[in-house]
Structure 1
Amino acid sequence: MSDPRAAKAREHHRLSGLAIAEGKQHRDTRNALVRQLRAEDPERWNNRALARAVDCSPELISAILTGRVE
C-alpha cells in the first residue's frame, strides 16, 4: 500500500468492528479518509482501489462516497 492514509483507513475499518462505542469514531475516521483520498485523486482511488486498500467491499466504498453510510 503506497499511501499511508489508505493503510490508516484500512486499520480504522478493522477496528470499527471491535467495540460499538468506539466503532462510530473509527467508521467516521475511515469514511473521512476514504472521501479525502477520492477527492484528491479520483483516477487513482476508484472504488476498487479504495476497497482493496481498506480491505472492504466496493459496495461499502460506494455507500461511503454517496452518503448512504454515516
Structure 2
Amino acid sequence: MGSSDPLAARAAELHTRALEADALAARYRSERDALIWRLRADEPGRWSYTALARALGCSRELIAQIVRRAQ
C-alpha cells in the first residue's frame, strides 16, 4: 500500500523501519538475557548482579529483572 503524498510515504517508510528495529532489538535482548543466565549458571560466585551490571554498563535492577524472568 503506497501513497502519492511524499510525507505520508516517508512516514510509512519510517514506520516500517521502526518495526524492523524493534524486532532486531528484541532479538538482541533475548540473546543478552540468555548469556546473562548462562554466566550466572556457570559461575554464580563470579557473576553477581553487581558484577554483571558493571560488565554490561547497566543497573543491578535490570540484571535482577532479567534473572527473575528465567526463574
2:46 to 37, 44, 49: 44
Q: 1 or 2, which has the higher helix percentage?
A: 2
| Counterpart pick for 2:28 among 26, 41, 44 | 26
Q: Which structure has the larger Rg?
A: 2
Q: Any gaps of 5 or more consecutive residues in structure 1?
A: 1-18
Aligned to 2:62: 60
SS of 2:58's partner is: coil
Using the size of structure 1 for normalisation, the TM-score is 0.68
Task: Give the gaps of 5 or more residues in structure 2.
Answer: 1-20
| Superposition RMSD in Å | 1.2
Q: How many residues align?
A: 50
Q: Structure 1 stretches (4+) deviating beyond 6 angstroms? A: none
Q: Secondary structure of the equivalent of 2:23?
A: helix
Identity over aligned pairs, percent: 46
Q: Which is bigger in relative contact order (C-alpha 8 A, separation at least 6)?
A: 1
Q: Secondary structure at the match of 2:47?
A: coil
TM-score normalised over the length of structure 2: 0.67
